[in-house]
Structure 1
Amino acid sequence: MVLGLTVLWVLLWGTLTAANVVTGVVVGVVVCVIFPLPPIETQVRLRPVGIVRFTVRFVLDMAASSWRLNRYILGPRPPLCAVLAVRMRSPSDLMLTATSVAVAAVPGSNVLDVHRASGTMYVHVMGAEGEAELERARYEVLRLEDRVVRAFGTRADVAALDARGGNGGAAAGSSGGRGGPWKRP
């Protein structure tokens, strides 16, 4: 942390001098002593197959969402929007954060709030034409959580996901199974 703050200090001053480095170290130590950070959960398990699966599906999801968003923008009428409450299945704060970042990166959706105690993510989605589209949006958020946890989660995270229906939406009141509540035409 002190090293990072020192680098930031030198960058803010714009010149690499011995005085700036020493001052940066002093400022870094003072900041870390006066404003200590809470312990951060850093237990991540990198699973190469899960990472590849996450990356490929994430790129495909971004392309499909971009296409869908363009269709809404160029359509004859403005799209209907909705705010959905989606209860996440993994209890890990790190997995909740990673999932919310991934959801926010997909065009047409935005994370408005995350209730940490209940693990509920409130997501704004475009294209809420009917109940089927709302279920599709919920299902996509849960599928994304499934891929994030299976790519970066610990064994406990994966076990919690499986215990709560880790098929990408089976526990969220959908029709269950791998196909989920939304079928492509």
Structure 2
Amino acid sequence: MLAPRLLGRPVPLPLVAWLALVWVTLWGDLSVGNVLGGLATGLVVTWLLPLPALDPGVRVHPAALVRFLLCFGWDMVISTVRVVFWVAHPGQPPAQLVRVPLRTSSEAMTVMIMITLSTMPGSLVVERYPGELLLHVLGLSGDVSEATRADVAGLESRIVAAFGTRRDREELP
């Protein structure tokens, strides 16, 4: 039981322990009095100022997570090679702005997609609009709009499969 009730209110013991650790660290002296004072302060603070229950909207599905990580690793290698080629190649590398629609409406999934895309060399999320992203794509010649949209749709599917809630997963066709 990590949140026993004290006078009708739940008191999260891990948070009390964390606050006691911060208390002892701030005092700079590990003593019985400081530890007890930190625990008492943590109890009072968590009882008087309860935190609301938050659901970040993220679940971890191990098999899908492994698939996502393998694909992400491969994408990182390919995009790094592409950017290194254009750095070593004389002349301007090709660059385009591509609008990419998203199928998910989940903020958490959208943020994960944006972080993943911005982590890969040669791509950067420039702007987020409702239901779509504006990507800067570097190092691909020709009209790469459809290929970029297909790549992002695959990435979106893998992220939602690895981290999405049941509602998120049902939302994708």
What TM-score results when the alignment is normalised by the length of structure 2? 0.70
Following TM superposition, the consecutive aligned residue runs of length 4 or more in structure 1 with deviations greater than 3 angstroms are 1-19, 36-41
Structure 1 residue 98 displacement after superposition = 0.9
Q: Deviations over 1:129-149 (max 9, x none)?
A: 221x23222222221111000
Segments of structure 2 that go 5 or more residues without pairing to the other structure are: 1-13
Aligned residue for 1:159?
Answer: 170
Structure 1 residue 39 displacement after superposition = 7.3
Aligned residue for 1:123?
Answer: 135
1:89 counterpart (88, 103, 106): 103
For 2:137, the aligned partner's letter is: V
For 1:98, the aligned partner's letter is: M
Q: 1:10 to 1:140 in 2, by over 3 A?
A: farther
Q: Distance in 1 between matches of 2:70 and 2:82?
A: 18
Contact 1:85-1:121 within 8 A present in 2 as well: yes
Q: Deviations over 1:70-102 (max 9, x none)?
A: 111111212121222211101111111111111
Q: Distance in 1 between matches of 2:167 and 2:131?
A: 16
Secondary structure class of the residue paired with 2:172: helix
Q: Distance in 2 between matches of 1:11 and 1:143?
A: 48
Q: 1:72 to 1:155 in 2, by over 3 A?
A: same
Q: Distance in 2 between matches of 1:122 and 1:74?
A: 27
- Larger radius of gyration, structure 1 or 2? 2
Query: Is 1:80 equivalent to 2:94 in the alignment?
Result: yes
Q: Distance in 2 between matches of 1:45 and 1:15?
A: 38
Structure 1 residue 38 displacement after superposition = 8.8
Two-structure CA RMSD over aligned residues (Å)? 3.5
Aligned residue for 2:148?
Answer: 137
Aligned residue for 2:117?
Answer: 103
2:84 counterpart (46, 59, 70): 70
Work out the number of aligned pairs and report it: 156
Structure 1 residue 48 displacement after superposition = 1.7
Q: Distance in 2 between matches of 1:119 and 1:37?
A: 31
Structure 1 residue 17 displacement after superposition = 5.7
Q: Distance in 1 between matches of 2:91 and 2:21?
A: 48
Identity of aligned residues (%): 30
What TM-score results when the alignment is normalised by the length of structure 1? 0.66
Contact 1:128-1:134 within 8 A present in 2 as well: no
Structure 1 residue 16 displacement after superposition = 5.7
Segments of structure 1 that go 5 or more residues without pairing to the other structure are: 163-185
Query: Is 1:43 equivalent to 2:57 in the alignment?
Result: yes
